[in-house]
Amino acid sequence: MISISGVLNINKPAGVTSSEYMNYIKNKFKIKKIGYAGTIDKFAEGVLPLLLNKATRLAQWIDLSKKVYMAKIKLGIETDTNDITGEVINEDKNFKLDIAELLITLQKFIGEQEQIPPIFSAKKIKGKRASDLVREGKEVKLKPNLITIYNIEVESVQEKENIIELKISCSKGTFIRAFARDLGMRLGTYGTVIELIRIKNGIFEIKDSIDKDVIEKVSDISELNIISMSDALSYYPKLHLISSYKNIIFNGKFLNKFYFHNYEDIKKEGIYRVVDSENRLLALIELSKDNKFKYLRVFK
């Protein structure tokens, strides 16, 4: 079993679930423990960070608060899943795209808002997925999520086909399928996602991701770009531990700021990374308002 720890920035291909692709990689490289940060729809492709071994313990501190998608949306048509894989339940053959109206309407989506998730989703109701309940023939009503759409850019427009391609920057918890549905409604018609690519998930970008063909060719996981646990949390300030104090960290004993080479960088409360001379993550700690350190995670 491979025991190396870190994060793989994977470009998940369309047509497989996040879990299916994760398990494929786990079995191929014989990884002992694996998880992923930020699921992505089966029909979509794009950035999927995989957490290897000890890195699975970082899941709650991986910052995935901002995501960016390239979405191709067809207006005038509605499916039960709000994407191209579903069954068509409504079609507006009289709809004609008005670009000026589209641009005005898109601007109204910018900002904080409530969004009702698609009923075909992994959202859980009393422990069961909403999509499973729908398939069982049960009525599903989901509560709205509070989300933020930061920016929308129009990449291309196919007027005759009523197809638009958008670049959408949004918060965690935003469903692009729900956005397409709601956009259609505001334009007096329907909307369905026909193509979706997640190009950014927190600090992880598609330009740096590992494609399926690369994974298929490689037999040893060490040939892939494994992001260190420390670098995966690069948004937290870094403290360099004086090597003679390692056992204090590993035994969870009281921390003094003078145990760190760069103690002058400790300027405010919050989370800090503790690393050794080789940038290996030793611990995540939090400084309180009263200047006391609390251990969040320790990595021996």
Are 135 and 99 in the same domain? yes
- Same domain assignment for residues 72 and 188: yes
DSSP codes, 167-209: EEEEETT--HHHHHHHHHHHTTS-EEEEEEEEEEETTEEGGGP
Q: Are residues 18 and 41 in the same domain?
A: yes
Question: Is residue 265 annotated as a catalytic residue, yes or no?
Answer: no
Domain that holds residue 292: 236-298
What torsion, rounded to 10 degrees, do the Cα atoms 97, 99, 100, 101 define? Answer: 40
Burial of 176 (0-12, 13-18, 19+ CB in 10 A): buried
pLDDT tens track for 140-182: 577 889 999 999 999 999 999 999 999 999 999 999 999 999 9
Structural domain count, the chain? 3
Residue pLDDT, tens place only, 177-207: 999 999 999 999 999 999 999 999 999 999 9
Given the residues 41, 63, 92, 132, the one annotated as active site: 41
- The CATH number of residue 245's host domain is 2.30.130.10
**pLDDT tier, 300 (very low <50, low <70, confident <90, very high otherwise):** confident
Does the structure show a pLDDT above 90 at 283? yes
pTM as predicted: 0.90
Instruction: Of 152-166, 254-268, 286-300, give the range with the top mean pLDDT.
Output: 152-166
Whether residue 255 sits in one domain with residue 196: no
Tell me: do 88 and 45 sit in the same domain: no
